[in-house]
């Protein structure tokens, strides 16, 4: 393993896709939210991922979102576009469209439902990486896709010149360390509770859902660690754990909880698209209470 510059920054937000009250894509809101997140510490934005409701947005909406966010943030942050699907041909077409729309990189999730074996999975990722000139972040989230990107497969894929990063939601820290120790792949945790743990063991940063509502707090964890203030970094991480649990581990998808809190904060988000449903009153009240307790924490 050698130390390389972060290909997409360190503090990345898995940004929600704002919709209007009528359910249409809210491009103005997307630009305002993107500007807010970058101003408060995000150096990268991941669009049309899980949190961005990619299964229920059209191809046209995905490219329009990239263009609107690029216009809003300029060169102040990288844009990583989610282009993954269950179909290799569709994914390669989305990859080329994302490049034309102004993305800096691609997030490519494991094909879902068909559960391809590892050799087919490897061939899929290679074909997508060959479809454009953009660097690729592989998205390993077996709980949603049904298929793990095995460490041995990642070791082979690390040799591809455009496969440069992994968004790690596999919950296998030993497997992650195996790949980290043998490759130059940049590892971003997609699990907010692992932000400090992975960073401290050689990870590059995070792709955070919780950063939609606490972008500065999540960035401060990395900054404290970089400055050698490891106790402060741990305190910041642990202090955010109640909100992380409320948003990510209390039975509702992160998209639903993030949009509920964005509404509370007066920030663009809007409704979720079916089959997702908005947070109920009890859940929303609990989210707001957890957020307000964290906001009131002045101990760091």
The pLDDT value recorded for residue 5 is 79
In a domain, 221, yes or no: yes
The pLDDT value recorded for residue 1 is 46
Quote the CA–CA distance of 157 and 123 in Å, as a whole number.
9
The pLDDT value recorded for residue 2 is 43
CB atoms near residue 40 (< 10 Å): 16
Omega within 30 of 0 (cis) for the link into 17: no
Task: Output the domain CATH number for residue 97.
Answer: 3.20.20.70
DSSP state of 55: G
Residues of the chain where predicted confidence (pLDDT) is lower than 70: 1-4, 298-300
The residue range of the domain holding 124 is: 11-228
Nearest partner of 81 among 72, 90, 96, judged by Cα: 96
The pLDDT value recorded for residue 297 is 81
Largest CA distance in the chain: 51
In a domain, 271, yes or no: no
In a domain, 264, yes or no: no
Distances (CA, A) of 199 to 171, 182, 187, 206, 224: 14, 16, 9, 8, 11
Three-state secondary-structure class, residue 146: coil
In a domain, 255, yes or no: no
In a domain, 261, yes or no: no
What does pTM read for this prediction?
0.96
Number of domains in the chain: 1
Which distant-in-sequence residues (6+ apart) come within 8 Å of 135 by Cβ? 7, 8, 104, 105, 106, 162, 163, 164, 165
The pLDDT value recorded for residue 39 is 98
Whether 116 and 161 have beta carbons less than 8 Å apart is answered as no
Beta strands per DSSP E along 34-92: 44-47, 78-82
Q: Catalytic site residues?
A: 139, 167
Structure tokens at 161: 């010149």
- Which residue is listed with tokens 């500065």? 216
In a domain, 3, yes or no: no
In a domain, 151, yes or no: yes
Quote the CA–CA distance of 248 and 258 in Å, as a whole number.
9
The pLDDT value recorded for residue 298 is 55
Whether 112 and 145 have beta carbons less than 8 Å apart is answered as yes
In a domain, 127, yes or no: yes
Distances (CA, A) of 264 to 215, 284, 286: 16, 9, 12
């Amino acid at each position: 393993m050698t130390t390389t510059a972060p290909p997409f920054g360190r503090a990345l937000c898995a940004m929600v896709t704002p919709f209007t009250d009528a359910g249409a894509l809210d491009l103005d809101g997307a630009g305002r939210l993107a500007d807010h997140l970058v101003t408060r510490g995000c150096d990268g934005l991941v669009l049309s991922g899980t949190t961005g409701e990619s299964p229920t947005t059209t191809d046209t909406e995905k490219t329009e979102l990239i263009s609107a966010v690029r216009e809003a943030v300029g060169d102040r942050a990288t844009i990583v576009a989610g282009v993954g699907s269950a179909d290799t041909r569709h994914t390669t077409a989305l990859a080329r469209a994302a490049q034309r729309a102004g993305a800096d990189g691609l997030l490519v999730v494991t094909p879902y439902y068909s559960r391809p074996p590892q050799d087919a999975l490897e061939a899929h990722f290679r074909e997508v990486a060959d479809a454009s000139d953009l660097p690729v972040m592989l998205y390993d989230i077996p709980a949603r896709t049904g298929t793990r990107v095995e460490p041995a497969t990642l070791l082979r894929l690390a040799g591809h010149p455009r496969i440069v990063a992994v968004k790690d939601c596999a919950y296998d820290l030993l497997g992650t360390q195996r790949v980290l120790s043998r490759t130059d792949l940049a590892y971003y945790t997609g699990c907010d509770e692992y932000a400090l743990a992975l960073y401290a063991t050689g990870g590059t940063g995070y792709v955070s859902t919780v950063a939609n509502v606490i972008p500065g707090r999540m960035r401060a964890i990395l900054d404290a660690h970089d400055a050698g203030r490891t106790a402060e970094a741990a305190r910041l991480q642990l202090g955010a754990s109640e909100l992380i649990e409320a948003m990510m581990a209390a039975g509702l998808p992160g998209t639903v909880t993030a949009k509920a809190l964005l509404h509370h904060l007066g920030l663009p988000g809007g409704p979720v698209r079916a089959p997702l449903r908005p947070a109920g009153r009890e859940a929303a009240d609990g989210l707001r209470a957890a957020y307000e307790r964290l906001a009131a924490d002045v101990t760091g």
